[in-house]
Structure 1
C-alpha cells in the first residue's frame, strides 16, 4: 500500500505536466486558427468533374469571385471595370454571440473602398453585399470554414451555386446596362439554402461549386 502511494505521488507531477502541455498545445492551435480567420482572402470557385457540362466547368472552375458595383457577387475569369476582386473574410457580426467570427465581409469598389457585409438574399437566394440596412431581414451567417480550413460554408454546409440567368431576365439585362456582361462569361454566386435548386427561373444554368479561400495579397 505504501509503495502504491509513493508511485502515485511520483506520477502526479507527470500528469500535471501532461495536462499543462496539452493546454498549451490547444492554446497555440486556437491562436493559430484565430489569426488565420482574421486574414483577408480571395475566393476561388471549384467545380467537380461530374458537375455541369464541360463548357460550364471551363468557365467556372478556378474562376474568382468579384464584387459588382450593383451589390451582387459574381464569378468569372473575365472581370469588367464594374467589378472588384473579392477581398475580405470572417468578421464579428452583431447577430451572433460575442467574440464570434460568424459574419463575412469584403472590401468593395466604392470610392473610397469600404468594408461591407456579405449576405444571402432570402428572396432570390443570391449572394449580395451591402451596409447593415441592406442586410437586415436576410441571412448574414453563420459563415465558417470546412474542417480542412480550405473552403467556405454558410449555415453549416456548402450549398454554393454558380448561376447564369436567362437572357430575358431583367437582372441579366441589368448586367448589360452595367457593362458587367458584354459578352463575357459571367456567373452569379448563389446559395441553395433549402437544397431544392434555389428556385432558379426557367432557362437558368446552375452548377454546384465549392468556394476556396486564397490568402489575399498584402
Structure 2
C-alpha cells in the first residue's frame, strides 16, 4: 500500500503536466478555429456528376455565390452588373447563445459597403440577405463549417440547391431579345430545409450543391 502511494505521488507531476499540455493544445486549436471563422471568404458552388445535365453542371460547378441588389443570393459564372460576390463569414447572432458565431454576414453592393445578415426565407426556402428587421421570422442559423472546415452548412447539414424557376427562362428570352444576356446562366441559391425538394413550383430546375469556402482577399 505504501509503495502504491509513493508511486502515485511520483506520477502526479507527470499527469499534471500532461493535462496542462492537453489543455494548451485544445486552447490553441480553439483559438485557431475562432480566427479561421472570423476570416472573410467567398463561396463557390460545387456539384457532382450525378446532378443535372452536362450543360447545367457547367453553369453551376465552380461558379461563385453572389448577392443581388434585390436581397437574394445567386450562383453564376456570368454575374450581372447589379451583383456583388459573397464576401463575409460567421458572426455573432442575437438569436443564439452569447459569444456564438452562428450567424452569417456578407458585404453587399450598397454604398457605402454594408454588412448584412444572410438568412433562409422560411416561406420560399430561398436564401436572402438584409437588415435585422428583414430577417425576423426567418432562419438565421445556426450556420457552421463542415468537419473539414471546407464547406458551409446550415442547421447541421448541407441542403443547398441551385435553382432555376420557370420565370427565369422567360427572363432569359427577354434578355436575349434585348441583346443584354445578363440573366442567362444565373441560378438562385435555395436550402432544402425539410429534405423534400424545397417545395419548388412545377417546371423548376434544381441541383444539389456544396458551398466551398475560398478565403477572400484582404
The whole-number CA distance in structure 2 between the counterparts of 1:61 and 1:168 is 19
User: 1:126, 1:191 within 8 Å by CA — same for their partners in 2?
Assistant: yes
Partners of 1:75 and 1:114 lie apart in 2 by 21
**Aligned residue pair count:** 216
Residue 54 of structure 1: aligned partner: 54
The residue aligned with 1:212 is: 212
So what's the TM-score if we normalise by structure 1?
A: 0.93
The alpha-carbon deviation at position 173 of structure 1 amounts to: 9.6
Unaligned runs of 5+ in 1: none
Q: Distance in 2 between matches of 1:191 and 1:210?
A: 11
> Structure 1 residue 2: deviation in Å?
2.5
Structure 1 range deviating more: 149-158 or 181-190: 181-190
Aligned to 2:121: 121
Question: How far apart are the structure 2 equivalents of 1:19 and 1:180?
Answer: 65
- Distance in 2 of aligned mates of 1:157 and 1:92: 20
Distance 2:93 2:174 in 1: 31
Alignment of 1:161-200 (within 5 A): 161-167=161-167, 182-200=182-200
* Distance of 2:45 and 2:27 partners within structure 1: 32
What is the aligned-residue RMSD (CA, Å)?
2.2
State how far apart, in whole Å, the 1-side matches of 2:23 and 2:180 are.
51
Separation in 1, partners of 2:23, 2:119: 36
Residue 18 in structure 1 maps to residue 18 in structure 2: yes
TM (norm. structure 2) is 0.93
* Residue pair 1:80, 1:180 contacting (<8 A) in 2 also: no
1:146, CA displacement in angstroms? 0.6
Alpha-carbon displacement from aligned partner over 1:108-135 (angstroms, at most 9, x marks no partner): 0001110000000111110000001111
**Cα shift at 1:4:** 2.0
- CA gap of 1:56–1:7, structure 2 versus 1, over 3 A, is same
Residue in structure 2 matched with residue 105 of structure 1 by the alignment? 105
Gaps of 5+ in 2: none
Kindly state the Cα deviation for residue 98 of structure 1 after the two structures are TM-superposed.
Answer: 0.2
Provide closer, same or farther for how the CA distance between residues 130 and 2 of structure 1 changes in structure 2, counting only shifts above 3 A.
same
Task: State the alpha-carbon separation in 2 of the partners of residues 175 and 199 from structure 1.
Answer: 27
SS at match of 2:167: coil
For residues 158-212 of structure 1, what are the alpha-carbon distances to aligned partners after superposition, in whole Å with 9 as ceiling and x for unaligned?
Answer: 1000001113789989999xx9963521000000011110111111100000001
